[in-house]
Structure 1
Amino acid sequence: MVPIPKCTIEVRHLRYVVVAAEQGSFRKASARLGVRESTISRQIRDLEDALGSSLFLRTRAGVALTQAGESFVQRARCALTQIDFAIRDVGAIGRGSRGVIRIGLFSSLATGFVASLIGQFMADHKEVQLEFLEGDHLELIPAVRRHQLDIAFMTEPHEIEDFSSIRLWTEQVYVVLSKADALASRSEIAWSDIRRRRFIVTEIAPGRDIEALLFRHLSSLGHRPDIQRNRVSRQTLMQLVACGQGITLASESITETPFAGVAYRRLVGCRLPFCGIWSDENDNPAFRRLLSMANLLSRVESNAVVRRPHTH
C-alpha cells in the first residue's frame, strides 16, 4: 500500500492547481484568482514537495501538467465540485429554502388553516420536503419532545410545559349524526339536546380528545356522557353513525369530507382553539420559516397569541 503523504492540502491548493492547469500559466492564474503569482507558485511548489511528485512542467511559455498532474487535477476538479455543492446545500438549508420539516397533525388536511398554510408554504419553498404524522395529544406531544416532530398542530392543551405554542385558529364543532336522526332536521343543536345520547368515538385520534370535550361540557350539565370506544378508522366510524349506532363530534375541517348517510349540524357555542407547539431548542431553519408563515396567516383571521414554556 502506498503511504499517504503527510501534508495538509487545503481547498485553496486545489483551486490554485486547477486554475493554473486551465490557464497554462501561473501569471494568468494569478490574474484570475486575484492572488499574487509568487504566492501561487510557492504554494504549488510546497504541495509538490509534500506529495513527492511534480504536477507541472515549467517553461518560459508557461506551465503544462505532468502525467501525475493530470491525474491530480482530474480528481481535484471532482473534489472542488463536491465542495461547491456542499457549500450551496448548507447555505440553502441555513436560509430555510431546502431541508425537511416533520409536522404532526390532529385533524384532516382536507381544508382549513393547515391546508392553506401547507399550500402557500410549498408554493414558495418547493425544495423543502414535508413529512406528516397524524395523532392526538398523547402521540404528538411526546414526538415533539423527542424532536421527532418539528411542530404539531393540535387542539390547544390546557397545560403546556417545556414547549412554546401559538394559537393559530379556531374551528366550529359539529354534531355528526345519521340523516335519519330526528335532530338532523335542525340547523343547529345545543348540548342539552344530546346530553343523553350515546356517543361513539375511535380509539385513534381524535377519539380521546372528543371524550375530553364531552366530559367537560356534559359534566357541567350534571350528566355523565355515554361513550362507546371503537377500534375502527374515522371512515368506519362515520359509517357506524350513518347506521344509527350513535352520534359523534367533529371539527369544522372534518365536515368538508362528505360521508353517505351522515349529517353535520352546528353545536351551539362550541368552538375549538387550535395551536402549533414546538421546542425552543429546534434550530431547523426551514421550520422557522413555516412558523413565521403560520403566524402571518393566523393574523389574517385573528390575533395570534404566543405562549412560551414555563420556567422553573
Structure 2
Amino acid sequence: MRSSIQLATLNYALVVAEEGSFLRAARRAGIDHSALSRRISDLEYAIGARIFHRHARGVGPTPAGERFLDRLRSVLLELDNILTLARTGIKDEQQRLSIGSNGFILAGRALDAVIEFGQCHPNVTVSLIEGSHPEPGATLGGAKVDVAVTSCSRSTGGAFELRLWKDTLAVVLAPNHPLASRPIIEWSELGRETLLVRKGEAFLLADAVGSDVQLPAVVEHQACAGILLRLVGNGLGVALIHDGDANSVPEGAVCRKLRIGGKPIQICNFARWRPDNANPALPVFIAFLRDRYSS
C-alpha cells in the first residue's frame, strides 16, 4: 500500500481538512480541482475508509478520517524533524575526502576546483594524494583514494566517470634558450630537446598527445614541479605546463605557447570514483564538479 500512496497526496489531505473545501484546497495547493478530488478518492480507496464526507458547505472529516488525519499530522511532523536533523548533520559534521591526482605537469584547473570546493564546503577536509596513475579505491601514500581527478584517458573497469575540462599545454624554457624569443613554439621544434617530467608523466604525456606523435628525449625525476622548473631555468631541459598555470612559472624561466600543426595541444581531464564508495562527502564533490566543471 505504501508504494501506491504519494507523499504529496497525504499533504493534500491535510490541506483539504484545513480548508474544508476541495475548491479552496485546490487553489492553495496549486492543483486542478478535479485532480485533487481524484487523489483523495484514490487515497480513500487505498486505505479502505472514507476520510471526508461531502456536504452543502464543503467537506469535513468522517470519524475514521479524523483519527487518520490526526495520526497523519504526527507522522508528517516526525518526518520533517528527521529530515531537518539529517540535513543539519550532513552540513555540520566534519567529513574527509581523499582526492587522487596524477599531478600532470602542474595542477591546472584541478587545484582551482579543489580550492573552490573547500571554500564552498568548509565541513569537508580534503586530502590530496599524487600518483602516476591513481585509481579510485586504490591506496596511495597510505591513504585510500575516494575520487581520482586525472588526465589519463585509460581507466580500469568498475569506476564511474565524469568528463571535466580541457587544459591546454605550454612549454617552459630557460630565458636564454634559442626558442625563448618565439611567442609560439611548434612541437616538432622540441625534437632535439630534453623534456623533463616527473615520475610516471611520460606515460601520461604519450596518452595526451597521441601515440602517433614522436616525443623528444624524456628524463623522469622523482621531484616536485617546482624543482623541475628550476632545472629548466638552469638550462637542463624544457618542461610542459598547463597554459592556465603560466603565471606560476618562477623567475629564471619563461613560458611559451605550444602547438602541433598550428593547433593547441589539449588534455581532457576526468573524475573517476567507485559506485560502492559510501563516503557521504563523495557525492557532494561529484555534484560540485558536475555543476561547475563538467564539459
TM norm structure 1: 0.57
How many Å apart are 1:156 and its aligned residue?
3.1
Give secondary structure in 2 for the equivalent of 1:107.
coil
Q: Which one of 155, 159, 164 corresponds to residue 163 of structure 1?
A: 159
Which residue of structure 2 aligns with residue 283 of structure 1? 278
Contact 1:97 1:286 in 2 (8 A): no
Contact 2:99 2:148 in 1 (8 A): yes
Correspondences of 1:6-155 after superposition (within 5 Å): 92=88, 98-107=94-103, 113-137=109-133, 142-143=138-139, 148-155=144-151
Which residue of structure 1 aligns with residue 16 of structure 2? none
The yes-or-no answer on 1:200 pairing with 2:196 is: yes
Which residue of structure 1 aligns with residue 219 of structure 2? 228
The 3 A distance-change label for structure 1 pair 229 and 124 is closer
Q: Which amino acid aligns with 1:292?
A: A
Which residue of structure 1 aligns with residue 178 of structure 2? 182
The 3 A distance-change label for structure 1 pair 161 and 131 is same
How many Å apart are 1:267 and its aligned residue?
1.2
Which residue of structure 1 aligns with residue 231 of structure 2? 240
Partners of 1:126 and 1:283 in 2: CA distance? 20
Q: Percent identity?
A: 21
How many Å apart are 1:127 and its aligned residue?
2.0
The yes-or-no answer on 1:263 pairing with 2:254 is: yes
Partners of 1:97 and 1:147 in 2: CA distance? 21
How many Å apart are 1:292 and its aligned residue?
0.1
Q: Which amino acid aligns with 1:209?
A: E
The yes-or-no answer on 1:294 pairing with 2:286 is: no
Larger Rg: 1
Partners of 2:230 and 2:178 in 1: CA distance? 18
The 3 A distance-change label for structure 1 pair 256 and 94 is same
Which residue of structure 2 aligns with residue 209 of structure 1? 201
Contact 1:111 1:253 in 2 (8 A): no
Give secondary structure in 1 for the equivalent of 2:149.
strand
Q: Which amino acid aligns with 2:234?
A: C
Give secondary structure in 1 for the equivalent of 2:195.
strand
Alignment root-mean-square deviation, CA: 3.4
C-alpha deviations, 1:39-85, integer Å up to 9, x for none? xxxxxxxxxxxxxxxxxxxxxxxxxxxxxxxxxxxxxxxxxxxxxxx
Contact 1:155 1:272 in 2 (8 A): yes
